[in-house]
Amino acid sequence: MSTLKSSAIGLAVAAVLAIGAAPVAEADSLGNMERERAILLETLLSGDLTPEERQSRVAISRARLVDLERIVLRDKSLIGRDTPMVRAAFENYDLAFLVHASVEKGRSPADHWLSEIGMSTQTVMNARQGRR
């Protein structure tokens, strides 16, 4: 019985150590905002959606982005972090904080994003799909 008891204790200790050594998931406000912005842009550019599906998905993503942008702007843990992602976000405010910037400029997020990258809705509509 003592061998069984010691092996059970050994397994319990091993399980606790394995759990303690597991990587900790960390919520990164800027990363979350970037992922949601990418989802919004993917939705805007997708040719596989009906106008109704696109409108519905954009509305959901836009509401999430409003909250995530506010969280990032108030995130004190970003102060003093000199990482490329943090620098890029605050140097390119109009692209990183897409929903806030589009409201400030009085445009839709799609029109704002296109104009910031040097395009317009009309140039996209006139573009033809093909190979180069």
Spatial contact of 96 and 30, defined as CB atoms under 8 Å apart: no
Say what the pLDDT of residue 124 is. 76
Residues in the chain: 132
**Cβ partners under 8 Å of residue 38, min gap 6:** none
| pLDDT, tens digit (0-9, with 9 covering 90-100), for 11-52 | 444 444 444 444 433 458 999 999 999 999 999 888 888 999
Say what the pLDDT of residue 110 is. 87
| pLDDT, tens digit (0-9, with 9 covering 90-100), for 70-90 | 999 999 988 888 888 888 888
Domain range annotation of the chain: 29-126
CA 24, 41, 114, 55 torsion: positive or negative? Answer: negative
Amino acid identity, position 15 = A
Within 1-132, strands assigned E span: none
CA 80, 92, 68, 26 torsion: positive or negative? Answer: negative
What Cα–Cα distance (Å) separates residue 32 from each residue in 36, 67, 123?
6, 11, 30
| Residue of 47 and 68 predicted with greater confidence | 68
Say what the pLDDT of residue 35 is. 94
Say what the pLDDT of residue 16 is. 45
| Residue of 124 and 31 predicted with greater confidence | 31
| pLDDT, tens digit (0-9, with 9 covering 90-100), for 90-107 | 899 998 999 999 999 999
